[in-house]
Amino acid sequence: MKNIQILIVFLFSVGVSAQNINRINADLKVSDSLILDSEIRIYAGGGITNYSSLFRMYKDKSDEWKAEFYEHYAQINSQTKLRTEKQTLKSENDMEFVWNSILRTNVQHLPNMSEIKYKMKERGNVELVDGKYQLMWKATEIMDGIGYRVQIRVNKKFHEVDFGNPVSYLKYYPDVDELIYFNELLDLIKSEFGIWKK
C-alpha cells in the first residue's frame, strides 16, 4: 500500500453559491448589489439543511449605521414553505468602532479560500513510490460545515470573498494569516451582535 499521507474528511456540503445568493436576496427583498459607500454582507450557509442567514451592516444615506440579521428557510418542493425572519441588531460597542474593527481584519483585501489552499497542507517528504520519486503532502479537506460569502464596499470599492469552514480549518492550520483574519471577522460579528453562536 502506498504511503500517501492525505487525510480527507468526506461529508456532504452545499456552499453559498451566487445563484443561491440571488434567490436569497429576492426572498429577503434585498438588492443584489451594494450601493452604499460603507456596507458589508456576510452570507452563511451550507450543510444539508435549507437554512441560510445574512448579516448586513451599512451606513445609510443619513449617515446612520444599521445592522440587520436575516434568517432564510428555503422552500423545498411542497414539503416546506419559504420562511424568512429579520432582526434589527444593536452592537455591544459603537458601530463606527465595529466598522473599523471589521476593516482591521483585512476582509476588504482577503483572497478567496481557493487561492490559499497551497498554504493549507503540511510539506511532505520526497519518497520513492513504484520506482518514481514523488512528493508526499499531508492535507485536510473538510467538506461539511458552514460556507461564508462576504461582500463589502468601502470607499466605493467592492470586494467579494468566499471561505468554506474557516473555523474548522483554523484548528488544523493555525498559522495561516488569511484564516486568522477571517475568523477574527466572524468572532467580531458574533461577539458584537450575538449571532451565529452555538
Q: What is the pLDDT along the chain (198 residues), one digit of tens a residue?
A: 333 333 333 233 334 565 588 888 988 899 899 989 999 999 999 767 788 899 999 999 999 999 999 998 888 777 778 888 999 999 999 999 999 999 999 999 999 999 999 999 888 889 989 999 988 888 888 877 899 999 999 988 999 999 999 999 999 999 999 999 999 999 999 999 999 986
CA distances to 40, 52, 84, 105, 151 from 45, in Å: 17, 4, 14, 21, 15
- Domain membership of residue 26 as a residue range: 13-193
Number of domains in the chain: 1
According to the model, what pLDDT value does residue 136 have? 86
140 domain-assigned: yes
Closest CA to 40 of 94, 93, 108, 141: 108
CATH number at residue 106: 3.30.1560
34 domain-assigned: yes
pTM of the model: 0.84
CA distances to 70, 82, 87, 92, 112 from 67, in Å: 10, 23, 9, 12, 25
According to the model, what pLDDT value does residue 1 have? 33
- 3-class DSSP state for residue 115? helix
Beta bridge partners of 162: 149
Number of helices followed by number of strands (H, E) in the chain: 4, 11
| Residue 72, C-alpha cell as written in the block | 432564510
96 domain-assigned: yes
2 domain-assigned: no
38 domain-assigned: yes
Beta bridge partners of 68: 56, 88
82 domain-assigned: yes
